[in-house]
């Protein structure tokens, strides 16, 4: 019992910002399950939202400490940061630049041993589609450069796609479920993308916070069974439904025309598909050669949902 207490005492305290988002909620749950003292910074208005309040109640019932404040209230940020060793931000992509006051507060307090900014997608430094993504990736890169310029200890988490995005339709924009007759394949269908369930992203992320191997590095997630090309995804699905689908291949030129013809933000699904399954920005480089580390290699004990098992739930 004493050894268990001592082990828990060594676990870093964590502040999570954005806990009512899908990923933020999973991060908080994973932090609590791993016995980290867990703090959640939420805006006062959050409590008037029934769905968000239910999430907060679940977390507090599990031992989380809820603090009121916001990214635009420096006083509340500083007070919250002073209570922890690790800060994880899980705000949505539109709020990425709102992390600047948070970075300033982290620098001001000087007590944070690890900052994990809100990225949780494709590596923004390796995804070169700035002319069509409305600054989606450049904003994340801007935050990286600011973190590094301030000398803040960090880990960036590049999990690529969430499994809840695109896989429910088998990468068929506009569909709610996988096709049963014909399927569109973008590019030649041989370029691989990566999908990881939010709960698993959270478990890998929390595993990094006290791990010196991930300090000032990018944690890439490419777990076996979750890295497939479109041709492979279709083959897996065909095997499950015991039927061959009619395949319609769309060339890179046609994809680019579609992106240009479709107004923002309705074209963003195609932008992300283009980046992953045509240009290969998620898998076109070796993790170690890029100076990163891979989650399933560092934490082989972590169990995760594979694409095949996820597709089983869609039958």
> Which residues are designated catalytic?
140
DSSP string of 94-162, one letter each residue: GGGGGGHHHHHHHHHH---SEEE-S--SS-TTT---TTTSTTHHHHHHHHHHHHHHTT--BEEEE--EE
Beta strands at 227-229 and 182-186: parallel, antiparallel or unpaired: unpaired
DSSP string of 13-67, one letter each residue: PEEEE-TTSHHHHHHHHHHHHTT--EEEEE-GGGGG-HHHHHHHHHHHHTT-EEE
Residue 191 exposure: Cα atoms within 13 Å on the Cβ side: 18
Give the closest residue to 298 by CA, choosing from 207, 231, 170, 227: 207
Cβ–Cβ under 8 Å, residues 248 and 254:
no
Give the closest residue to 40 by CA, choosing from 70, 11, 10: 70
Cβ–Cβ under 8 Å, residues 16 and 38:
yes
């Amino acid at each position: 019992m004493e050894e268990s207490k001592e082990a828990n005492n060594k676990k870093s305290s964590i502040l999570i910002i954005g806990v009512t988002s899908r990923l933020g909620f999973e991060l908080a749950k994973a932090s609590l399950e791993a016995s980290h003292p867990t703090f959640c910074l939420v805006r006062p208005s959050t409590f008037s939202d029934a769905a968000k309040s239910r999430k907060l109640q679940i977390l507090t019932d599990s031992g989380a400490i809820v603090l009121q404040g916001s990214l635009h209230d420096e006083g509340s940020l500083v007070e919250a940061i002073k209570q922890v060793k690790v800060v994880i931000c899980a705000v949505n992509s539109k709020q990425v630049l709102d992390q600047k006051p948070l970075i300033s507060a982290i620098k001001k307090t000087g007590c944070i041993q690890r900052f994990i900014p809100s990225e949780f997608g494709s590596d923004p430094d390796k995804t070169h589609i700035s002319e069509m993504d409305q600054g989606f990736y450049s904003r994340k890169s801007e935050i990286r450069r600011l973190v590094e310029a301030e000398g803040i200890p960090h880990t960036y988490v590049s999990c690529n796609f969430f499994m809840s995005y695109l896989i429910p339709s088998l990468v068929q924009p506009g569909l709610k479920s996988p096709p049963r007759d014909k399927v569109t394949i973008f590019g030649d269908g041989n370029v691989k993308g990566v999908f990881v369930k939010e709960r698993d992203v959270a478990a890998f992320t929390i595993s990094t916070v006290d791990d010196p191997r991930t300090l000032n590095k990018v944690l890439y997630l490419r777990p076996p069974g979750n890295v497939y090309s479109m041709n492979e995804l279709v083959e897996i699905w065909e095997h499950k439904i015991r039927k061959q689908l009619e395949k319609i291949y769309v060339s890179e030129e046609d994809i680019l025309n579609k992106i240009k013809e479709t107004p923002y933000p309705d074209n963003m699904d195609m932008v992300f598909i283009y980046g992953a399954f045509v240009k290969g920005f998620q898998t076109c480089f070796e993790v170690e050669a890029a100076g990163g580390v891979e989650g399933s290699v560092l934490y082989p004990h972590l169990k995760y949902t594979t694409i095949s098992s996820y597709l089983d739930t869609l039958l």
